[in-house]
Structure 1
Amino acid sequence: MEVRVREGDSYAYYGRLFMVPLELIIDSNENVNPSNLKTGTKIMIPGYVSIPYTIKEEDTLWKIGNAKNLSIDAMMILNQMQNPNKLTTGETLYLPERITQQHVSSKLPYGSEILMKQLKTLKKLYPFINVDTVGTSVLGNPIQEIRIGKGLKKVHMNASFHANEWITTMVLMNLVNQYLISLTNRSPLRGINTINLYNDTELSIVPMVNPDGVDLVLNGPPTSRREEIININEGSDEFVHWKANIRGVDLNNQFPANWEIEQERKAPKSPAPRDFPGKSSLSEPEAIAMADLIKKNQYDRILAYHTQGEEFYWGYEGFEPPDSEVLAREFERVSGYKAIRNFDSHAGFKDWYIQEYKRPGFTIELGRGINPLPLSQFKDIIQKVEGIFIASLYL
């Protein structure tokens, strides 16, 4: 929500008036010097929207404020009013409304286009977050990253490495939205004061690593590649079981952590709907983008969201540090998911991260059943994985 500075206003006053943490207001207005607010400057108040209200006969600001539980001065700032007694019947007054409900859909599956729209909405409502493009897919779709927080600890999460695991994107976006609502409303999550998490931790999220693949599963192949993709899919135009990127490479078999072992033992030796590790490690632009992101930012821990089994994997070839087990036991406690240290698999994103950086990495397998998991499992998944999301930030 946008307001304009009046003489004598300050960020501290806005924080008290709208009951939003001061640091979120400062971070929502990075281009404005908080110690030198000039009259008329546009200021963003995160976690609010302005709602039009038609003034009725005999309305007063006091009457409207009492009915809507709104501060008189909050309405005056939003409407740039000088005289609180001057209301004209039939004119529009804008009312500040605090956001307390999700603005991220969980009712229908969505691909890259809807994700982009939802990221744009979140950036508008919560301007203290950063949304950037960290790479592009084979088809040129942007791979987007959200960043929240300014702390020294750096945590990374991602979803939809695999195309038919698109529900992981929806879960992660829902958790992010919960976190943002908690921050602006000063409401705890599972008893944790989230503004402390914001100040202590920088959270990086890539909600859709494989946008081309997700779009393929949900919408079918693009016209320009239809024949090629159907050939990879063994002549079928049914893509519900497709896990790979648009070129038929499994992105979670693309990383240089014993990649040669996976190349040798995986059945597909050419592009396929799943399991083909590529002709070399890091051959695909999506995998390269993720590797570059990690190399650039040196995260303290990573979590990759996948589906199947209500369990998670946290070790790789003995490279995992002692902290990994501490986190694994807490994740197990708060979620009910089973912690598995070692699994006969290589070349995954988590495997490479642990091998290269000797830091805690986790592959979180959401839900149970047949991929794609049905949306009927969504609420249950959220309830179980929410604890992992929060614990990864506070431990």
Structure 2
Amino acid sequence: MADEQVYGYERLENDLDRLAHRYSFIRRGSIGTSALGRQIPYLRLGEGPFRWHFNGACHANEWITSWLLMRFAEDYADSCSRQTRFWGKSASDLFSRCTLWIVPMLNPDGVELVRCGVGEGQPLERELRAWNRDSNRFHRWKANARGVDLNDQFPAHWETERQRRSIHAPGPRDYGGEGPLSEPEAQALAELTERADFHAVLALHTQGEEIYWNYRGYEPEESRMWADRMAASAGYRAVYLEGSDAGYKDWFIAQYRRPGFTVEAGWGHNPLPASEAEDIYDDIARLLAEALDCAPLD
């Protein structure tokens, strides 16, 4: 039975259609396809020279991040349309300074597993049930449909993270795949990043109310200051993180020497309940607005 509390793929597609129809300045498209062939959608808004990227639902049971990003996009677009203040900032100013690309659901196959389980006759049905200990309840599932953790997929000391995890077969979490960028979702995000040449990126996860901003000393000087600003806006903590590799922000920092952030939204045990979404959003919206405001003025 489908869990209608979960913000799933169909709701996401409907919301993207609705926003693109309501706001002519929103552009939507796809960065590629998932392991099971679902389109991985994006939306773009803004016309500024600074290119920001936000993404969510890299981990399947962190689907609430998709809702948070879509709610943020709608509120931001509404403020831009009406030329009003947006969490204490001029929406028009942010729009003219930043072009924002949002990939709200990087792992649509995984989210649908969390929402519905495995359908009879579905591709990989037998394997998925086995990887999930013969259960059709996937509430703890973080991986994609091939049992690969997408946030352990990036070529930033991938081998080190594989040894640290010591997970060598598909499963609900922590398996980094056969090699970096082996999964279509990770490939699509890396290709988008290279093509769009982002100046800064932010990956939204749950939970812990923390911001990770560094990676092996590759991060630029402004990263700590930006993280402190975002943390102060939301009441979160900016954390210097060690002993973690192969994540999207790790690869971005190492590859481009530009600011990259992982934000752990909310507090509790994953998956965070839908009943907490509004409270989490109140902090995350302020944090994301502050992130946009970090873009240089010139």
Equivalent of 1:215 in 88, 103, 112: 112
Q: TM-score, normalised by structure 1?
A: 0.72
**SS at the partner of 2:10?**
helix
Residue 267 of structure 1 deviates from its aligned partner by 3.0
For 1:114, the aligned partner's letter is R
Q: Which residue of 2 aligns with 1:141?
A: 38
Residue 325 of structure 1 deviates from its aligned partner by 1.1
Count, aligned residues: 289
Equivalent of 1:168 in 65, 87, 112: 65
Q: Distance in 2 between matches of 1:227 and 1:271?
A: 13
Q: TM-score, normalised by structure 2?
A: 0.95
**SS at the partner of 1:197?**
helix
Residue 110 of structure 1 deviates from its aligned partner by 2.0
Q: Distance in 2 between matches of 1:333 and 1:312?
A: 11
Correspondence 1:262 to 2:161: yes
For 2:84, the aligned partner's letter is S
Residue 342 of structure 1 deviates from its aligned partner by 2.0
Residue 236 of structure 1 deviates from its aligned partner by 1.6
Deviation readout 1:234-272 (Å, 9 max, x if unpaired):
212211100000000000000000000111221321101
Correspondence 1:245 to 2:179: no
* Percent of aligned pairs with the same amino acid: 43
Deviation readout 1:296-335 (Å, 9 max, x if unpaired):
1111110000001111100000000011011011011101
**SS at the partner of 2:238?**
strand
For 1:332, the aligned partner's letter is A
Q: Which residue of 1 aligns with 2:288?
A: 389
Residue 148 of structure 1 deviates from its aligned partner by 0.2
Q: Which residue of 2 aligns with 1:284?
A: 183
Q: Which residue of 1 aligns with 2:82?
A: 185
Deviation readout 1:143-183 (Å, 9 max, x if unpaired):
01100011100000000000000000001111111101111
Equivalent of 2:130 in 220, 226, 231: 231
Q: Distance in 2 between matches of 1:117 and 1:384?
A: 25
Q: Distance in 2 between matches of 1:181 and 1:108?
A: 25
Q: Which residue of 2 aligns with 1:376?
A: 275
- Unaligned 5+ segments in structure 2 are none
Contact 1:109 1:170 survives alignment (8 Å): no
- Mapping 1:54-203, distance limit 5 Å: 108-203=5-100
**SS at the partner of 1:356?**
helix
Q: Higher relative contact order at CA 8 Å, sep ≥6: structure 1 or structure 2?
A: 2
Correspondence 1:350 to 2:266: no
